[in-house]
Every structure is written in structure tokens, then in C-alpha cells.
């Protein structure tokens, strides 16, 4: 073998030349979990599209050898490695002619590192002893870290995978096992140990993109179930794999998988295309979960729960995660974006399908449509209200940058806009279009326009034109309403958190479904879904002596600004008993009013009054969650101003304390999900409000007394559990508040106990609760200690959680930024190529609010050439 370090190998550093296209890979990988390394060989079947004398493909971090091409007996020696672009160019001693085929072979070898990307290792404790297993994470561009390949989503091929491992371990891959045999042909060194090895051969996949290929090797156990296809009557096995320490916690995930697959088959009118669906729950994952075709992988926090004591919140996370990943089995895996700039479509769609449509059908009692507003819509609107926001669909020539531009807004805005479209055309028409789109692009690639065209055809409207502005332009509109006696005049302008936009930033005209409701004399809402605002301003005839509301259902991606008298009427109606508006409208109204007040369109007192009024009678958890988020954002924004911060904390105390007094601490199995979650929310709200200066006046005395008794009770439960070892006193719903109260209002002793729980948790949720608590001490020395052990004792996958929770602790906010700047090179090295990096950087800095902070951060990014692109976007966000 001859190798040379080389210059850039091709004119376009971001895309492979298409002289040849892979059609099939025969991939064999041997895993050695003792030496923590892997090796293998790949034979790639190529179709020659253009006469060529070279092959250019992706590979990075691997030792490659023995380059051969079938029909040519010598190994190929002209090999150039282009490290910067993660590719290899092999010169051929003859020309491959257009229209011919060729089979290209390479051997490869690499280490199983803890990088969470490519083929990597995960660790777990087997009866107290640390052991390893291996799995893959290839999205977006890490298949090339595991085996040499043409690593672009458009270059779909079939895969026949064989895994060689020690005989006592389990091999998993996308497809079903075809055969498993003893394997003797391993090196002398291995033979000398007289170990038994085996080779597991998997069935050939359908055509698929490299980023969806997956395999794993380890001492996995599994739980099994099956489902019957409603389309063909065929039964398919469903399995959840995990190591033995957590396998007893996966039943709920299995149940959700079984429920959701037939549901999608019916909605898409396409049968699940693979013979099985496995899910591997892993101790170390970059993403929360990954939709590898036929072998989903995900974190313990995404898929494990203690069925004897599980919080509803945990059940919701698992159900949403699994139905999101399963939606990708069709949307993304059968039909895949041609390039990464359209990845938002996969993610927006899976978020809408998995986290709203399917969840609502499986668990109607969870009122998931309304939860979407808090979890996705409002988050997206808050981010998108910044002048520095970016369009959902943004050019991304370099696939390695997709992880940088692909932020939460791309998931949440894309999902919100798709939900608006679904409401506009109706669910039945929407899915007719989606089904036609998937059928037209089976096992192929597509661009977003293909989906708009298909839905548009089903609906008989020009969806492509409508979606163009929502997906390809930055920001969103505020709809301002003026009234005459006989009409309303509605006008659209770009909404910015800083107030009125300059003319140059206010040029876009969006197509906004107005969803106008008239409130009839009997209190019923009569909704007109047909009116769309396609111009700057329109006048709609309406008797304004009657009650009305726009954006009913809060389905359009906009804010609505009413005249102040109308808003106060709407507020009264929202707070009426029984409420005039459905839950989603009450939530939308709260989010809108707070956002409009922050931007100076209305007084802040109007927003606080609305919450005060609603708070008197509101019984729905999700409405309370919306209020808590809105007030919490305000508190977070004012964290540096003691006076305002303390006043807002008093407001929160008075808001939540009466409800704790009413609901108590005891959870009853027969209670509605609303009551359970509301109790947890108000107890946590009181804990958060309790850390301001305690102004002891009659105005807050009652609330203060309640809060003091909450802290006392939570700490009592913590102490009893620690002294007796009986954790049954920890109702799952109160696990996090109990740990937080203990650490925040206790001291060194409580901190050390919770640190011990973090190291040896009884369940994934106990571990998450311990992380929240360790980020929440009031004592600055203990905060310092948490920062120190992040670098030494925290698994890579948990960094983001630590950074996020520390950034919510008022006493740690500036330190988080300093921590990130102080250890940036190390963190960058560790997380380069991971999903978490961009989010970690955002979380570290975006809570800062002063000009001085912005200048410091700007200087830091200017001085760091690695981060010029990220830095400029981020510092714009800060300013
Ligand atoms: Zn997804």
C-alpha cells in the first residue's frame, strides 16, 4: 500500500463527484470489545456514470489498506488522503467506462472511542464493574468514521451487513438476522486465547442513505412483542434491546412502538417496509434518539421508566420520542431529503406526526395539541422574533455545518408551520397529500417542494406559494387588529422582540390563515377557516359589538395584537367560568400578550393582570404551564436587577402558593393527569419563587408561609428516605423538587448525597433529577464544585444537560459563559461533529443580558477562528 498526505482532492470540497454511484455495499465488521477496536472490509458495487480513472469517497479517522478492484489483480497504490475534507482519492491504472459496473474493495480498522459518533463505545456498570458495548451514530456525516463510503444522503444503496464478534455477545443491525455461524478466521492472536467467535449475517436492506445504517455489539438482553399490519395482515416482531441493568424498564417503550406502527401504516397508507423494528437503549448517545432504519437507538432517559413509580412527564417523553423516531421510518427513511438543507422537513414532520398527531390518537387524555403550543410553537416564536433569526430552509453547502445551523427552531418552527398547514387544509386532505408524496418517492430522495406540491394537489390550493415565505424567509408576522363599528381591519408586519421593525426588515407578505371566530350568544364559537391574510392589510366586515377572536386554536404561526379594550374583554372571557375559549386559545393568548408586552406593543401590567385573572380559576395544567413559562421568561430576563427580580418573584409566590395549599402533596392513582401535573408544577414554581429576598409584609406573608412549609416538607421527605433507605416516600412526580429543595436549602451533606445518587442512580429519572439538583445549589462553592466535576466525571452525553440547568440558576449564569470560554478548545475537540455542540454554545451565552457581556462574548468569538461562523450568529443573537 502506498499512501500520501495530499492537498484538497477535488474542486468542490463539499460534494463528491458523481462519476460513479454506489449501488450496493457488502460490509463486514469485526468488533473487539476487549481491545476497544474494530476492523473490517467493504466491497462497494459501483455504477459508472462518466468515464473516469479515479474514485473519490469519504473516510476519516480510519486506517485503510488493501485497495482493490475486481478484475484487476494488484492492489491499487495511488491513494491520496484529504484529511480536511474527510475523503480519499484512489487513482486507477485503467479507465472505468460510462455504463459499466465495478466492485471496489477496501479493508479498514479503527478504535472504538467514546466520541458518540461513528462506531463508538458506550459504558455501563455490570454489577459495579465498568464494561463496554458498541453502537453507531452516523447522522449527519459520521458513517465515514466507521467504514469508507459515499456518505451523502442522495447516494442511496442497498447494504448486506455481516458482524463478527465474540460468540457470547449480541449483534444487531438494520435488518433481520439471516444466519449466525461460528467464525474461525480471526487473527492468530485471538486464536491463541481459544476464544469462540461468530459471524452474524443480516438480510439485504432496501436502498437507503448511509446516515441511516446502524449496527451494535454487546451483552444485550431484550423484550419482545409484535404487531399485525392493518394493510397486509403480516405480523412483525418488535424488540427493545438493552443491557441487563435497565432491561426491566423498557416495557412502556415496547407498548408505544406496538401502538404507533399500525397507526402510521393507516395514515400513510404504506406498510412498514422492513421485516422487524428493534430499539437499542444505550447509556451514551449524542442525540436523545436516532431513527436508524429498523434499529432505533436512544438514551436511557428517552426510553426507560420504572413502571411501578413513573411520573407522567417521563411517560410523555418516552411516547413522544418513540412515535417521533418511528414516524421517520417512513418520512426520512423511505423518502429522504436530497441534501441536508432540507433536513428540517424530516424533523418538522416527525415532530408534528410523532409529538402531536400520533400522540393525540394514542393518549387523548394528555391534550397533546395544547402541549405543542408550550413545547414547540411558543419556543419557535420566541427565537424567531430576534432580528438575527434565520429561515428554516437555509443553504448548507458543507454537510459538516448542518449541525451548527440546525437548531431547535428548525424542529419547532417547521413543525408549527406544518401544523398550520394541516389545520388549513384539514387532516384528511393533508395525509392524502403526504401519502401521495411518499408513494411517488419510495426509496428515493426528494426536496420540500415535492411535499408542498403533493399536499397542494390533494387540497386544490397553491400550497407551494404559501409555504415559500414561511420556510424560506426569516421571521413571522404580528397581525394587528383595528376596529370600526362594522368591520375589523387586520394588518401584518414582521414581529421583532425589540419593537417596530425598520422598513427594510418589514417587506415580507405572509399568507396567514386568520381562523376568525365569532362568539355566539349561547357561548358557542363559530369559526371561519377560509379567510387568509395575503396582503399587507385587509378589511373584514364584522359587527364589532359582538365578541370575536382571531387565530382560534392557536394554529397560525403569528402573534395577534388587539386594541386594548378588546384585549381586556378577551382576558375576561378567557378567565370566565366556564371559560369561553378552549384551552389552546387561553394558552395562545397568554403567550401572545407576554411577547407583545416584552416588545413594547402593550403594557407589561396587562400581561401580569391576565395571568393574575386566569390564575384565580384556571384548572388545566397546560394553561398553567403556559403561564409559568411566560412569567419564568420574564424573571429570567430580569435576573440582574434585584428590585424587579424580587417583585416578580413575589408575583410568582402569590400565583402558585394558594394552589399548593389547595392541592396538597399527595398523589392519587385515580386523579386526572391534569391534577397530578398541576400539583408538581405549582410545588416546583414555589421552590423557584422562594429564592428571592423574603419581603415580610402582609401582602406576601401567607404565600411565604406556604412556601416555607413546602421546603420543610420536601426536605423532610429527603431526610427520611436517606436515613431509612426507603425511597417510596419519593413520589416520582416529586423526585426533582425533593432533590432540588435538599441541595438548594441544605448544604454540603445534601449535595454529597445527591452526588452519590448521580453516580449510582436507581433509574434514569433519578439521575436526571440529581443533575437538576447539582446545578441548583445556592452556595457558590458548591456551584463551583459542580463546574469542576463536569470536566472530569460527567459523560459526554450529559454535558448539555449540566450546561442548560446551570444556566437557569441565577447564581451560575455568568459562570456558565466563563466556563465555556475557559474550556472552549477542550469542549470543541470533544464534541466536534456532535449534535450537542451548537446547543451547548447557545445555552452558555444566551441568558446574558448586558451590553458588557455581549462585548466580552463578541471578543471571545473574534479571537477564536474555529468559531467565526457560530460566533457571528450568536453574538448577533445576544445583542
Ligand atoms: Zn427526528
pLDDT tens digit string along 702-732? 888 888 899 999 999 999 988 887 766 678 8
**pLDDT value, residue 72:** 83
Q: Is residue 82's pLDDT more than 80?
A: yes
Instruction: Give the residue-averaged pLDDT of 286-301.
Output: 95
How many whole angstroms from 563 Cα to the centroid of ligand 1? 40
Q: From ligand 1's centre to the CA of 413, what distance in Å? A: 14
pLDDT, the chain, mean? 91
Do the beta carbons of residue 307 and residue 730 sit within 8 Å? no
The catalytic residue positions are 325
Q: Which CATH architecture has domain 1-219?
A: Sandwich (2.60)
* Residue pLDDT, tens place only, 648-683: 988 998 899 999 999 998 888 889 888 999 999 999
Tell which CATH architecture fits domain 222-330. Orthogonal Bundle (1.10)
C-beta separation of 305 from 249 below 8 A = yes
For residue 445, CA distances in Å to 335, 346, 354 come to 5, 12, 21
pLDDT confidence of residue 580: 87
Instruction: Find cell 426491566 and name the residue.
Output: 248
* pLDDT the model gives residue 364: 95
Non-local CB neighbours of 455 within 8 Å, separated by 6+ positions? 421, 425, 429, 430, 433, 434, 437, 463
- Interval between CA 61 and ligand 1 midpoint (Å): 27
Say how far apart CA 96 and CA 20 lie, in whole Å. 9
Q: What is the arithmetic mean of pLDDT over 456-480? A: 96
Distance from residue 42's CA to the centre of ligand 1 (Å): 29
Q: What SS3 class is residue 101? A: strand
Q: Does residue 7 carry a pLDDT above 60?
A: no
Of 30-44, 311-325, 570-584, 687-701, the poorest mean pLDDT is in 687-701
Bridge partners of 20, per DSSP, are 48
Cα–Cα distance for residue pair 545/565, rounded to 1 Å: 12
Question: Which residues on neighbouring strands pair with residue 239, listed in sequence order?
Answer: 224, 278
Residues in the chain: 879
| Neighbour order of strands in the sheet with 215-218 | 118-126, 129-137, 215-218, 170-173
Residue 586 CA to ligand 1 center (angstroms) comes to 29
Give the helix/strand (H/E) hosting 675: helix 673-689
- Band (pLDDT 50/70/90 cuts) for residue 185 is confident
Cβ distance 272 to 265 under 8 Å?
Answer: yes
Could you say which DSSP state residue 305 is in?
-
Q: What is the distance of C-alpha 703 from the center of its chain?
A: 37
Output the pLDDT for position 6.
43
Which ranges in 460-542 belong to alpha helices (H)? 463-472
Cα gap 137→651, rounded to integer Å: 46
Q: For position 728, what pLDDT does the model report?
A: 67
Does the structure show a pLDDT above 50 at 8?
Answer: no
User: Is pLDDT of 696 > 90?
Assistant: no
What residue numbers does the annotated binding site for Zn(2+) cover? Answer: 324, 328, 347
DSSP class of residue 170?
E
Q: Distance, CA 742 to ligand 1 centroid (Å)? A: 36
Handedness of CA 655, 636, 623, 802 (dihedral sign): negative
629 contacts: CB under 8 Å, gap ≥ 6: 374, 378, 591
Among 493-497, 672-676, 692-696, the least confident range: 692-696
Number of helices and strands (H, E) in the chain? 30, 31
Q: What pLDDT was estimated at residue 309?
A: 77
Q: What is the mean pLDDT of residues 201-230?
A: 98
Cα–Cα distance for residue pair 491/479, rounded to 1 Å? 6
Q: How far apart (Å, rounded) are the C-alpha atoms in residues 227 and 385?
A: 44
Contacts of 418 by beta carbon, 8 Å cutoff, 6+ apart: 348, 349, 352
Q: pLDDT digits over 559-612, tens only?
A: 999 999 999 999 999 998 888 889 999 999 999 999 999 999 999 999 999 999
What is the Å distance from ligand 1's center to 350 Cα?
6
- Give residue 71 CA to ligand 1 midpoint distance, Å: 42
> What band does 865 get if pLDDT is binned at 50, 70 and 90?
low
pLDDT above 50 for 274:
yes
Residue 645 has pLDDT above 50, yes or no: yes
Burial 819-855 (b: 16+ CB within 10 A, else e): bbbeebeebeebbebbbbbbbbbbbbbbbbeeeebbe
Identify the DSSP state of 177: E
Measure 416 CA to ligand 1 centroid, in angstroms: 15
Q: How far apart are the C-alpha atoms of 661 and 505, rounded to whole Å?
A: 49
Please check whether residue 212 is in contact with residue 291, taking contact to mean a CB–CB distance below 8 angstroms. yes
Class (C level, CATH) for 334-472: mainly alpha
- pLDDT at site 878: 41
Q: Look at residue 877 and tell me whether its pLDDT is greater than 60.
A: no
Quote the CA–CA distance of 323 and 363 in Å, as a whole number: 12
Give me ligand 1 centre to Cα 345, in Å: 10
**C-alpha of residue 813 to centroid of ligand 1, in Å:** 30
Distance 573 CA to ligand 1 centre (A): 38
d(CA 273, CA 328): 12
Q: What is the pLDDT of residue 542?
A: 95
Q: Which helix (H) or strand (E) holds 547?
A: strand 547-549
DSSP class of 97 = P
**Band of pLDDT at residue 692, cut at 50, 70 and 90:** low
Q: Are 237 and 280 in contact (CB under 8 A)?
A: no
- C-beta separation of 512 from 559 below 8 A: no
DSSP assignment, residue 19? S
Pairing, β 277-282 against β 295-299: parallel
CA of 328 to the centre of ligand 1 (A): 7
d(CA 171, CA 164): 8
Q: Indicate if the pLDDT at residue 408 is higher than 60.
A: yes
Residues annotated in the binding site, as ranges?
324, 328, 347
Amino acid at each position: 500500500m502506498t499512501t500520501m498526505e495530499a492537498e484538497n482532492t477535488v474542486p468542490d470540497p463539499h460534494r463528491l463527484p458523481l462519476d460513479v454511484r454506489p449501488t450496493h455495499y457488502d460490509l463486514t465488521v469485526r468488533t473487539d470489545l476487549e481491545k476497544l477496536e474494530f476492523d473490517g472490509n467493504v466491497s462497494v458495487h459501483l455504477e459508472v456514470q462518466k468515464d473516469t480513472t479515479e474514485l473519490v469517497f469519504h473516510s476519516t479517522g480510519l486506517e485503510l489498506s488493501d485497495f482493490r478492484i475486481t478484475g484487476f489483480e494488484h492492489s491499487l497504490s495511488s491513494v491520496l488522503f484529504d484529511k480536511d475534507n474527510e475523503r480519499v482519492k484512489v487513482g486507477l491504472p485503467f479507465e472505468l467506462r460510462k455504463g459499466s459496473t465495478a466492485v471496489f474493495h477496501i479493508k479498514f480498522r479503527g478504535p472504538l472511542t467514546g466520541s458518540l459518533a461513528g462506531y463508538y463505545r458506550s459504558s455501563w456498570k455490570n454489577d459495579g464493574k465498568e464494561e463496554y458495548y458498541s453502537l453507531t451514530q452516523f447522522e449527519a456525516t459520521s458513517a465515514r468514521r466507521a467504514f469508507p463510503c459515499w456518505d451523502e444522503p442522495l447516494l442511496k444503496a442497498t447494504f448486506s451487513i455481516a458482524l463478527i464478534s465474540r460468540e457470547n455477545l449480541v449483534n444487531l443491525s438494520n435488518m433481520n438476522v439471516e444466519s449466525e455461524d461460528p467464525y474461525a478466521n480471526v487473527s492468530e492472536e485471538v486464536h491463541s486465547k481459544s476464544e469462540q467467535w461468530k459471524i452474524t449475517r443480516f438480510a439485504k436492506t432496501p436502498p437507503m442513505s448511509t446516515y441511516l445504517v446502524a449496527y451494535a455489539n454487546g451483552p444485550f438482553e431484550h423484550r419482545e412483542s409484535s404487531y399485525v399490519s392493518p394493510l397486509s395482515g403480516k405480523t412483525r416482531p418488535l424488540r427493545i434491546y438493552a443491557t441487563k441493568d435497565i432491561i426491566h424498564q423498557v416495557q412502556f417503550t415496547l407498548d408505544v412502538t406496538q401502538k404507533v406502527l399500525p397507526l402510521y401504516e393507516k395514515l400513510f397508507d404504506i406498510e412498514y417496509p422492513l421485516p422487524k423494528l428493534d430499539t437499542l437503549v444505550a447509556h451514551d448517545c449524542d442525540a436523545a434518539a436516532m431513527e436508524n432504519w429498523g434499529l432505533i437507538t436512544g438514551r436511557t432517559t428517552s426510553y426507560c421508566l420504572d413502571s411501578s413509580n413513573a411520573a407522567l412527564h417521563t411517560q410523555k417523553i418516552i411516547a413522544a420520542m418513540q412515535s417521533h423516531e418511528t414516524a421517520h421510518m417512513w418520512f426520512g427513511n423511505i423518502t429522504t431529503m436530497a441534501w441536508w438543507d432540507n433536513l428540517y422537513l424530516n424533523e418538522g414532520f416527525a415532530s408534528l406526526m410523532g409529538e402531536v398527531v400520533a400522540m393525540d390518537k394514542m393518549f387523548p387524555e394528555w391534550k397533546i395539541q395544547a402541549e405543542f403550543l408550550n413545547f414547540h410553537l411558543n419556543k419557535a416564536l420566541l427565537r424567531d422574533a430576534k432580528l438575527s433569526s434565520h429561515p428554516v430552509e437555509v443553504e448548507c453547502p458543507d454537510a459538516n455545518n448542518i449541525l451548527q445551523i440546525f437548531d431547535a427552531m428548525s424542529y419547532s418552527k417547521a413543525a408549527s408551520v406544518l401544523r398550520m398547514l394541516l389545520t388549513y387544509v384539514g387532516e384528511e386532505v393533508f395525509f392524502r397529500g403526504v401519502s401521495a408524496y411518499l408513494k411517488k418517492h419510495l426509496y428515493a430522495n426528494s426536496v420540500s417542494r415535492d411535499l408542498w406540491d403533493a399536499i397542494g394537489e390533494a387540497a386544490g390550493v397553491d400550497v407551494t406559494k404559501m409555504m415559500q415565505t414561511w420556510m424560506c424567509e426569516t421571521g413571522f408576522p404580528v397581525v394587528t387588529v383595528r376596529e370600526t363599528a362594522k368591520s375589523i381591519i387586520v394588518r401584518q408586519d414582521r414581529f421583532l422582540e425589540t419593537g417596530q421593525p425598520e422598513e427594510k426588515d418589514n417587506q415580507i407578505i405572509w399568507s396567514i390563515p386568520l381562523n376568525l371566530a365569532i362568539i355566539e350568544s349561547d357561548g358557542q364559537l363559530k369559526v371561519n377557516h377560509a379567510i387568509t391574510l395575503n396582503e399587507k392589510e385587509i378589511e373584514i366586515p364584522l359587527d364589532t359589538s359582538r365578541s370575536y377572536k382571531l387565530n382560534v386554536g392557536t394554529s397560525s404561526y403569528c402573534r395577534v395584537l388587539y386594541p386594548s379594550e378588546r384585549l381586556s374583554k378577551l382576558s375576561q372571557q378567557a378567565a370566565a367560568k366556564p371559560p369561553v375559549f378552549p384551552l389552546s386559545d387561553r394558552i395562545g393568548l397568554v403567550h401572545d400578550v407576554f411577547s407583545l408586552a416584552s416588545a413594547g406593543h402593550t403594557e407589561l401590567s396587562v400581561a401580569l393582570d391576565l395571568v393574575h385573572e386566569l390564575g384565580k380559576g384556571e384548572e388545566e395544567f397546560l394553561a398553567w404551564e403556559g403561564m409559568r413559562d411566560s412569567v419564568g421568561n420574564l424573571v429570567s430576563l430580569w435576573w440582574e436587577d434585584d428590585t424587579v427580580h424580587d417583585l416578580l418573584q413575589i408575583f410568582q409566590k402569590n400565583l402558585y402558593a394558594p394552589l399548593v395549599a389547595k392541592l396538597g402533596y399527595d398523589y392519587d392513582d385515580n386523579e386526572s393527569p391534569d391534577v397530578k401535573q398541576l400539583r408538581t408544577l405549582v410545588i416546583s414554581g414555589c421552590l423557584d419563587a422562594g429564592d428571592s429576598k423574603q419581603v415580610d409584609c402582609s401582602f406576601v406573608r401567607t404565600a411565604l408561609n406556604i412556601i416555607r412549609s413546602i421546603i420543610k416538607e420536601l426536605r423532610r421527605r429527603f431526610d427520611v428516605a436517606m436515613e431509612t433507605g426507603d425511597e417510596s416516600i419519593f413520589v416520582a412526580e416529586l423526585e426533582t423538587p425533593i432533590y432540588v429543595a435538599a441541595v438548594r436549602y441544605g448544604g454540603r451533606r445534601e449535595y454529597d448525597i445527591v452526588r452519590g445518587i448521580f453516580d449510582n442512580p436507581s433509574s434514569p429519572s433519578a439521575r436526571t433529577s440529581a443533575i437538576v439538583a447539582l446545578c441548583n445549589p445556592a452556595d457558590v462553592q458548591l456551584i463551583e464544585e459542580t463546574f469542576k466535576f463536569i470536566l472530569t466525571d460527567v459523560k459526554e452525553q450529559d454535558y448539555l444537560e449540566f450546561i442548560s440547568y446551570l444556566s437557569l440558576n441565577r447564581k451560575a449564569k455568568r459562570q456558565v459563559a466563563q466556563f465555556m470560554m475557559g474550556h472552549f478548545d477542550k469542549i470543541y475537540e470533544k464534541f466536534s461533529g456532535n449534535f450537542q455542540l451548537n446547543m451547548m454554545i447557545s445555552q452558555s451565552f444566551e441568558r446574558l443580558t448586558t451590553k458588557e457581556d455581549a462585548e466580552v462574548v463578541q471578543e471571545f468569538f473574534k479571537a477564536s477562528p474555529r468559531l467565526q461562523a457560530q460566533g457571528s450568529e450568536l453574538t448577533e443573537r445576544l445583542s
